[in-house]
Structure formats: C-alpha cells, structure tokens
Amino acid sequence: MSLSQSLPLALAALGLEALIGYPTPLYRVVGHPVTWMGAWLKQLDVLLNRPDASFAMRRALGALGLLLYLAPAALVAGAATRLLEPFGVVGFAALALLAASLPAQRSLDAHVRAVADGLDRGLDEGRRAVAMVVGRNPRILDQAGVARAAIESLAENFSDGVVAPVLWTALGGLTGGALYKAVNTADSMIGHRDDRYAAFGWASARLDDVINLPASRLAALWLIVAATLAPGASGLEAARAVRRDAVKHRSPNAGWPESAMAGALGLKLAGPRVYGETLVDDAFMGEGRRDADSGDIRRALSLYRLACVIEALVLAIAALIALR
C-alpha cells in the first residue's frame, strides 16, 4: 500500500475511532482484535515458555513465539487489504473501519475522565478508577498520587495507544498498524522483568521499545504544540522539560510524552512508584508541583484532546500532499 493510500486510511481510522470508538455491541459479539491477539499469545506462552529451560533457551523460544504470534496478524491484515482494495470507496471504508480498531483515543479519554470523576466523589472512587488504567498499587495512593498516576498514564498511552498505531498505519497501511498493535499487546502481556517473562518476553519488550521510538517523540511534539495553543499551559516549559528530563526516564519512550505533559501543566510527574509490592525508582519529569487533583486531570485531558486534533491536522496535510 502506497503512502497515497495509507495516509488517508490512517486519517479516516483516526476520525472514525474519535466519533464512534469500538462499538460495544460488536465487542460483545466478536470481541476485539487485541483480545484475539491476546488469546493466541496465551497459547504460545503455554506451549513455549518452559520454566525448566535455560535463560538463553527461553529467550530464543520467546523470539520464536513472537514470530509465530506476529505472522497471523500480518497474514490476516494483508489478506483483508488485498481483498478490499479493488472495491474502491466501499473497500476503503471497510479498511478504515478495521483500522479504526487500532487507536484508542476515545477509550483512553473515557478511562482517564473516569478517574477525575471518581476523585470528585472521594478518594476510594478515584483509586478504583485509576486501577483500570495503571499497574501500580492504588491502595497506597493519596489524592495527588491518584491524579498524577492518571495524568502519567494519559501521556504515555497517548504515545503508544494513539500516536504509534496511527503512525504505523500511515506508513504501512492496515498491516503496519496491526503489526504494531500486536507487538504492543505482546509487550503488555509478557514484556515484564519477573521470573516468568524476563527471558521469554525479552524479544517482545525490546521490539516494542524500538517501534515506539518515533511515536514517543512525535507525541511529545504534539503536546508541546498543544501547550503553546492551550490557555493556562506552557509550550516553552513543555519543551524545556522534554529536553531536560525525557532521557532520564527508565523507559526509552515514556519519558518523552510524560515530561512534555509535566512541563506543559507545571507538574512534577513520575519519580519513585510502587507496582504491586515493588518500589520502582525512577527520575522525576518536570519541576512543578506534586499536589495534583481532579482539576489537573481535566487540564491534561484538554491538552490531550488538542494534541489529537493537531495530529489529525498534520496527517490530513500529509495525505493531501501524498495525493497530489
């Protein structure tokens, strides 16, 4: 698929997902591509992840499992593209509907907004809502901790849940977007550093790091531009925070959108956090205040929505240029 086809496809998918998301009735009937990917990966995990094997063997089996996992995603997406492309506008609309299942801008907005609404009703409600979007232990979070966790998750997931699938769809059509989503799903399921997955999930985690490199930088850029335009936010401080703090994050990618969001809103995000019962020591993003609340979550959501619009405008311009 050429850029003159894939760029409009990515734009259409982004617009459709913003308007309708992934319809609940459809999810109830057939599930979601991520659930299908997850089910196949679980089978491969059971088949190939052998606790009695050596570390090197488990790493090799994890790489093999990743190949076996990605192959069906590529084959199905490629077959759908070849089948639908000849049908012109109707085929393009069908491909756009399929590609619209890949970004998650609408659901991300809803989940983070639920944390702000929950905090307005009380700390326990806020903790319950934030447990749906972060992996850390919500029981030890105070109001500010819940708010910061929601904002950090919004920033990071803007990169890997919105910008990245749109970028890879723009570059590689439905197949590119589907492969990105598959790798990102694998990283979330097995890309952990615990005893079970440190070796078996190594290939998935490293590949996810690599393919998210461009999107994390773009996400930071869209947030900086949005902060320049948004009342009460600072594009200059967002840019300063990215330049100063992004590379300090333990993740090669998460620090970029998190530092941009922190600088834009005058907050201090990240830092030491507890996942389960484990303390993870990380650098701070931003030099602002730590005392965040539900109002700051809503400010972050406003910035996020504007960044999504900016992404769509840039994509539209690129699509028009490609079509000329």
The pLDDT value recorded for residue 28 is 74
Q: Are 132 and 111 in contact (CB under 8 A)?
A: yes
Residues near 208 by beta carbon (within 8 Å), at least 6 away in sequence? 183, 184, 186, 187, 191
Contacts of 47-53 spanning 24+ positions with Cβ under 8 A: 48/200, 49/196, 49/197, 49/200, 51/196
Cα radius of gyration (the chain): 20
**Cross-strand bridge partners of residue 113:** none
At 284 the three-state DSSP class reads: strand
At 207 the three-state DSSP class reads: helix
Between CA 130 and CA 153 the distance in angstroms is 9
Q: Are 271 and 283 in contact (CB under 8 A)?
A: yes
Neighbours of 266 (CB within 10 A): 18
Between CA 145 and CA 148 the distance in angstroms is 5
Query: How distant is the alpha carbon of residue 106 from its chain centre?
Result: 12
The pLDDT value recorded for residue 276 is 62
Measured CA to CA in angstroms, residue 257 lies from 196, 222, 224 at distances of 30, 9, 9
Q: Are 222 and 311 in contact (CB under 8 A)?
A: yes
The pLDDT value recorded for residue 277 is 62
The pLDDT value recorded for residue 4 is 92
- The tens place of each residue's pLDDT in the chain, 324 residues long, gives 789 999 999 999 999 999 988 877 777 766 788 888 999 999 999 999 998 999 999 999 999 999 999 999 999 999 999 999 999 999 999 999 999 999 999 999 999 999 999 999 999 999 999 999 987 788 889 999 999 999 999 999 999 999 999 999 999 999 999 999 999 999 999 998 888 999 999 999 999 999 999 999 999 999 999 999 999 999 999 999 999 999 999 999 999 999 999 999 999 999 987 766 666 778 999 999 999 999 999 999 999 999 999 999 999 999 999 988
pTM for the model stands at 0.94
Residues near 13 by beta carbon (within 8 Å), at least 6 away in sequence? 96, 99, 100, 102, 103, 166, 169, 177
Measured CA to CA in angstroms, residue 199 lies from 36, 69, 321 at distances of 24, 17, 44
**Cross-strand bridge partners of residue 275:** 278
Neighbours of 258 (CB within 10 A): 35
Between CA 108 and CA 168 the distance in angstroms is 19
Q: Are 152 and 8 in contact (CB under 8 A)?
A: no
Between CA 22 and CA 162 the distance in angstroms is 14
